[in-house]
Amino acid sequence: MRYAQTLDSLSQMAAAMRVDIYEKEHAEGKGIVISIGSGLMMATMDALRTCKVALEYGKAERDNPHFPDFLSLAMEWADYVCIHAWFSITKPDRLVNLLAPYPGEKIFWKSNENLFVGHRFETFADMVTHLNDKENYTVNPLATSASYSNLYGHYD
């Protein structure tokens, strides 16, 4: 059964699961930005016309036992999920393990770390251009099918 068919239901589930999300009033799509760092999150959300929801994957989300369930609902609702992060203190392991079960064609990322899921972009401009024009979608040549959890093990 689908529970997050509308933004209102996704917002309600986020509130019930204690996940802070930020909603853009006018968006041309149902993209979700997940970021490490609120500055990156806001800049990415502003640049992506197709982004409707953003969240910062901070300590509160990493420690929230309901976050994996929320991510499941969000992946069902979203056109895509875009990870824009600069990993310095926080490591990508847990987030990558959470995203690994989902279809790679819905996951896009720009990061200083290789996430081994979905489609990677070399530059922020390339990511924005691509996600703002999903009509011309082609497989990103930098995408990889390797599983992060297979290479590094699960983060616990």
Are 84 and 44 within 8 A, CB to CB? yes
Report pTM: 0.78
Average pLDDT, the chain: 80
The percent of residues in the chain predicted with pLDDT above 70, rounded, is 81
Dist CA 134 CA 115 (whole Å): 22
pLDDT confidence of residue 32: 93
Both tokens of residue 93? 């392991």
The Cα–Cα gap between 122 and 125 comes to 9
User: Between residues 45 and 90, which one has the greater pLDDT?
Assistant: 45
Give the DSSP H/E element, type plus range, for residue 119.
Answer: strand 119-120
Residue 139 pLDDT > 70, yes or no?
no
Evaluate if residue 42 carries a pLDDT over 70: yes
pLDDT in tens, 86-138: 887 877 888 888 888 888 888 998 988 888 888 899 999 999 999 998 665 44
Domain 7-134 has CATH 3.90.1150.10: no
Domain boundaries, the chain: 7-134
